[in-house]
Structure 1
């Protein structure tokens, strides 16, 4: 009979393709995880991984074995996690990755109340616009958009990520407003180039009736940072496509206004990402429940919707 630690080391290594990433998730050393997997291979009499300097790759036998034991291991660990979570108070370091603006404006103001409720939890916040690998990076949770749902990671939607077109009243004052996305060519645009191709993303807008049309933007200013693009729009430098979450306060104050208010681009959700709920430690479960309830009470999804 194989030990739970050997099976767990194998499954987590397979999910992350790395002994080091699996070790961070399991709280072990990479050497210990490697030994557990090697012992499992000896006991089974088959090689489960092809090892190289680039990482781990499952063999054909390893793929079959993962399909057979993966779900069963989650069930066993889920039962263990449920018992231990109910027995203990949330404690330990909670490592989070948060999109910068959303983190500053929405998450940080909630953290004093969270820390007061759970004094045993220490926060480790990383502000980053790029999606991170939860398992490889050792994060308990991440907040943002565009994350890949790798095996063992789930998402809870917090608000929509709707892109709208905005400009300052001073810029729009003496100009004729377009009636459709095709008319945007008559206005100056503030745009961001793709860091990979150097091209400007084509924005496919839709309206309440389900019609779709490409935004005919004429870039006059190129900026590689959303906050700076917002700043340029506030200065009257042109029309900017930005996520509602980045401009909500300026729309509410009147510093910016929507151009083509019936049109928007759906970029998917702003979500809270974490490992499978069955395996959540008490500190992560407490954070997920606290944050989703707090943002629900604030009506965040409605505030960030372009519809």
Structure 2
């Protein structure tokens, strides 16, 4: 048992970058975590970590040992959760990270139903537009658009969400309605800046199966999509909004959708949709609670997003 505690403390310290962080994750004191690792090193007869007040690094022996045992802790966690699941109890803390807009408009209405279906799961939602750190923040699942995927992460597409180009009736009455994407260059365009990379999220269309990006005039840029929606409603220009943001405003007439074939039969383009992915750090992260959340999400998202 002492060896297992030592391995757990060691693996978490390597993953999280410090013994103090490992101790917090394991709900023990820093001194206890340090002692666990020291006993492990004594039993192995080799130093695994070099420690200073500011840094932690693997020795050559530590690197070899870490590669061998890092899956052991994850396998034990999976085994424990499998036993709970076999007894009909999917339980534990589930931490989900996604963009603030997706959390606000998509997840929030679904969470009460999920909690009712799985009362033993404690859910935490990290609503952020930065790239989530699965290990450092203890995140089980991140929901990301295709442009945010990283090499090596386990990703499965969960939704394809339509995008709508929208403007207020007052703006279109004053400036006129663009009939083609090329005409956007003559309009005030409200653009979204991706917080992670600092790049403006370019507007893209699909014509005859070919993707292209027209030149536009960015008169306002923000990293908050709800702010851009409100600016569009106030007559500030044209915004590109995911359907879960746009639909209530299109329904009540606050915004008007552009480039609709129903309005303009000659329009032969469509906005490139947003593809959302259910992302895990690795195969060990596919626990019963994660599977339960994935299946619930797939079942309760709109059919037209599937």
The TM-score normalised by the length of structure 1 is 0.74
TM-aligned CA distance change 1:92 to 1:75, over 3 Å: closer
Task: Name 1:175's counterpart in structure 2.
Answer: 176
The Cα offsets for residues 274-297 of structure 1, whole Å up to 9 and x where unpaired, read as 5656456655554343333322xx
How far is the alpha carbon of 1:231 from its aligned partner? 0.7
Alignment gaps of 5+ in structure 1: 303-307
Residue in structure 2 matching 1:287, options 271, 288, 293: 293
For 1:229-248, what aligned pairs fall within 5 Å after superposition?
Answer: 229-248=228-247
Closer/same/farther in 2, CA of residues 7 and 31 from structure 1, 3 Å limit = same
Number of residues paired by the alignment? Answer: 296
Question: 282, 298, 301: which one pairs with 2:305?
Answer: 301
Match of residue 225 from structure 2: 226
User: Would you say the 8 A contact 2:78–2:287 is kept in 1?
Assistant: no
CA RMSD of aligned residues (A): 3.8
Does the 8 Å contact 2:157/2:276 carry over to 1? Answer: yes
Q: Deviations over 1:20-71 (max 9, x none)?
A: 4434444444433333333333333333334345543333333333333334
Q: Equivalences for 1:141-220 in 2 at 5 Å?
A: 141-145=141-145, 154-160=154-160, 165-173=165-173, 175=176, 177-180=178-181, 182-192=182-192, 201=200, 203=202, 205-220=204-219
What does 1:1-307 align with in structure 2 at a 5 Å threshold? 3-71=3-71, 73-87=73-87, 89-91=89-91, 93-145=93-145, 154-160=154-160, 165-173=165-173, 175=176, 177-180=178-181, 182-192=182-192, 201=200, 203=202, 205-251=204-250, 255-260=254-259, 262-265=269-272, 269-274=275-280, 278=284, 283-295=289-301, 298-299=302-303, 301-302=305-306
1:158-182 CA-to-partner distances (Å, cap 9, x unmatched) read: 32466553323443345252534x4
Q: 1:76 to 1:193 in 2, by over 3 A?
A: closer
Residue range with higher mean Cα deviation, 282-291 or 40-49: 282-291
For the residue of structure 1 that corresponds to 2:180, the secondary structure is coil
Distance 1:203 1:105, change over 3 A: closer
Q: Give TM-score, length-normalised by structure 2.
A: 0.74
What is the DSSP-based 3-state SS (H/G/I as helix, E as strand, rest coil) of the residue aligned with 2:136? helix
For residues 151 and 54 of structure 2, the distance between their equivalents in structure 1, rounded to whole angstroms, comes to 19
CA contact under 8 A between 1:204 and 1:212: conserved in structure 2?
no
Q: Does the 8 Å contact 2:189/2:220 carry over to 1?
A: yes
